[in-house]
Amino acid sequence: KLENATIKAELGRASWKLFHTMMARFPEKPTEEDSLALKTYIKLFARLYPCGDCASHFRQLLKKFPPQISSRNAAAGWACHVHNQVNERLKKPLFDCNNIGDFYDCGCGDEKKVAGE
Ligand code: FAD
């Protein structure tokens, strides 16, 4: 099948949205198990991301910038940084990571209703 840039971009937007929103809900003080879960998720995301070229570029990025999983701030800042790396490669505008704080809202209300908390 032919490449379709529109569909590929749509998948990218949907994926980044989930990725950043997940970071925004990651515990501020994660347990070791929380941190391991996030690390594993990121690794498998990079392995299974449906656009193969994107995934292999992303795996290179993970080698250069290992996932920061020690806290919500660390994880959100890291995800913003690696997304900016992708933006740079695709010649897109960079996002100001100082503004990541309230940008990703899951709409799910109560902070305490995260699985496992
Ligand atoms: P997107 O980059 O999708 O961003 C969506 C929105 O997120 C933006 O409008 C902005 O509000 C916000 N945002 C932007 N930067 C950041 C940031 N740093 N932190 C937080 N929020 C931000 N496409 C390719 O063509 N080739 C690739 O190799 C490729 N690799 C990818 C790898 C991964 C892991 C993912 C998830 C996607 C990849 N994509 C790739 C898709 C690409 O990154 C974009 O998602 C797609 O091109 C649509 O771009 P967009 O301009 O709509 O904004």
Residue 34 CA to ligand 1 center (angstroms) comes to: 26
Share of the chain above pLDDT 90, in %: 87
Integer CA distances (angstroms), 91 to 24, 67, 87, in order: 25, 23, 6
pLDDT digits (tens, 9 = 90+) for 33-75: 999 999 999 999 999 999 999 999 999 999 999 999 999 999 9
Q: What domains sit in the chain, N to C, each tagged with a CATH number?
A: 11-104 (1.20.120.310)
pTM of the model: 0.95
Residues whose beta carbon lies within 6 Å of some atom of ligand 1: 8-9, 12-13, 15-16, 20, 49, 53-54, 57-58, 80, 83-84, 86-87, 90, 92, 95, 100
Token pair, residue 86, equals: 């992708």
ipTM of the complex: 0.99
Please tell me the number of Cα atoms within 13 Å of 43 on its side-chain side.
9
